[in-house]
Amino acid sequence: MTAKRSLQKTLSLGLTAGVTVLWLLGVLASGLVAQHEMEEVFDSALQETAQRILPLAVTDILSRESDRLQKRAPAMEDHDEYLTYLIRDASGRILLQSHDVDLSVFGDRPRSGFYNTATHRLYGASAVSQTIFIDIAEPLAHRQEAVFEAGMALLLPLLLLIPVSLLGVWWSVRFSLRRVVDFSGSLEVRGAADLSPVAVDQLPQELEPMAVSINRLLERLRRVLDAERSFTANSAHELRTPLATALAKVQRLKADLSESPSLRKVAEIEASLQGLSRLSQKLLELAKAEGGGVLSETPCNLVPVLETVVSDCERMEPGRIVLQVPGTQVHSLLDPDAFAILVRNLIDNALKHGDQESPVKVLLTAEGNLSVTNRGDTLKPEVMTDLRKRFVRSQSQAQGSGIGLAIVDAIVDGAGLSLTLRSPAEGQPDGFQAEFTVMVRR
């Protein structure tokens, strides 16, 4: 699975990398321009130096006696010479040289103009009708060092620029996206039951259409849920009333008939109507569970709801249920009606499919863990896998619709919870246990 990327992090790193790359390109371009300009400055200095030294050297040479030997120019003090020169005649005889000259740098004969060797840049000029020549040399390493130092002077600020740019870009991006972050946080903490419109006025212009579309979707979903709830209520009334009327007429007919084949047929019709009534009730509960209205806007104490449901079931099966509840309130965002449907289905399943001689244990802890446990046969793993499906029943011969656990699973899933089914039950050698937590987090 691809890891999610933060928009702020992506923009910050991308913009900083872009600034860094542009700076490097700027340094490279500036370095190339600086190198070209420095080459021109160095060549001009080399040429200017030759033209300054040559007239003085000519005067000195012409004032000598004709038989004197070459003369080395005296140094005022010891120092490194970047520029060394050699003054010769046309035959190559040395007439004057700088005090730290390396003769291997110069050729056998003087030359005019600029030229390079492997290690030096040289310039040659002549005077006195091309009878006296000067060659002045400068190490290429000196020029390379100067270019390198100029490049480093441009590059070193980048070491400070990168963290400064990162902080500046990060702050700018964070400031610019603060409304987006707030919008994202408000959506993240919004519960599944909260269908109120999201705030639009504080969003950037680019994201406003998205928020408007979300509000339209929420409004459409709200209308659908309202229509579903209305349909559920109307269906409950329209289905229950005719079934109850038909069942009452059949029961009156049964009371009027004596023992005969007709009485048995009426009894079969009564059982069918009762089964159809129970099935319609389960289907309505399933529709409610899948309708999305399983969470409430405000927390509700579920202990009284659980006690009421258990009390109703106790009237149908006296002495079959053992209830344990904490001495404190257990608040949850789970809708009380949805919770009642959920608990009633779990208890009905335990009563119908568990050991008829053993009680059903209903336990709610202060931490919000609810479990319904019964004794009975241990279910096979493949049966446990299919129990959450609609119209799938266990190995029990008890009557049932087969959608009780499907209703429970739909409510738990709609609330964002997790239902755990065990067989055998925890701490027992057999039986069945359903467990989940009622603590819903937005």
pLDDT digits (tens, 9 = 90+) for 206-237: 777 888 888 888 888 778 767 766 666 566 56
CA atoms of 417 and 388, how far apart (whole Å): 15
In this prediction, residue 363 has a pLDDT band, given cuts at 50, 70 and 90, of very high
Percentage, residues of the chain above pLDDT 90: 4
Mean of per-residue pLDDT scores for the chain: 78
Of 30-39, 68-77, 173-182, 272-281, which gets the smallest average pLDDT?
68-77
Q: Flag whether pLDDT at 398 surpasses 70.
A: no
Q: What is the pLDDT of residue 400?
A: 52
Residues 93, 97, 102, 105: is their CA dihedral positive or negative? negative
Euclidean distance between the first and the last CA atom of the chain, given in angstroms as a whole number: 25
Could you report the per-residue pLDDT of 318-333, keeping only the tens digit for each?
888 899 999 899 988 8
**Strand order in 132-139's β-sheet?**
71-72, 94-97, 84-89, 132-139, 120-127, 113-116
Q: Flag whether pLDDT at 77 surpasses 70.
A: no
- 97, 73 in Cβ contact below 8 A? yes
What single-letter amino acid sits at 164? V
Q: Flag whether pLDDT at 426 surpasses 80.
A: yes
Mean pLDDT of 82-109: 84
CA atoms of 412 and 419, how far apart (whole Å): 7
Q: Flag whether pLDDT at 386 surpasses 80.
A: no
Q: What is the pLDDT of residue 372?
A: 92
Q: What is the pLDDT of residue 75?
A: 54
Q: Spell out the domains of the chain, with CATH numbers in brackets.
A: 7-164 (3.30.450), 182-293 (1.10.287), 294-442 (3.30.565.10)
Angle, helix 261-290 to helix 404-414, in steps of 10 degrees: 10
Q: What is the pLDDT of residue 295?
A: 76
CA atoms of 287 and 134, how far apart (whole Å): 107
Q: What is the pLDDT of residue 442?
A: 46
Mean pLDDT of 37-48: 86
Q: What is the pLDDT of residue 416?
A: 77
In this prediction, residue 102 has a pLDDT band, given cuts at 50, 70 and 90, of confident
Q: How far is CA 205 from CA 200, 209, 210, in A?
A: 10, 8, 10
- 435 against 338, higher pLDDT: 435
- 77 against 125, higher pLDDT: 125
In this prediction, residue 286 has a pLDDT band, given cuts at 50, 70 and 90, of low
Could you report the per-residue pLDDT of 126-136, keeping only the tens digit for each?
888 888 888 89
Q: Flag whether pLDDT at 69 surpasses 70.
A: no
Of 222-231, 280-289, 420-429, which gets the smallest average pLDDT?
280-289
* Helix, strand, coil percentages in the chain from 3-state DSSP, rounded to 5: 55, 15, 30
Mean pLDDT of 94-121: 85
In this prediction, residue 361 has a pLDDT band, given cuts at 50, 70 and 90, of very high
Mean pLDDT of 243-251: 72
- 302, 332 in Cβ contact below 8 A? yes
Q: DSSP strand E in 54-93: where?
A: 71-72, 84-89
Q: Flag whether pLDDT at 112 surpasses 80.
A: yes
Residue 137's Cβ-count burial label (10 Å; 0-12, 13-18, 19+) is buried
| Residues in CB range of 54: below 8 A, 6 or more apart | 87, 125, 127, 132, 134
CA atoms of 98 and 72, how far apart (whole Å): 6
Q: What is the pLDDT of residue 67?
A: 47
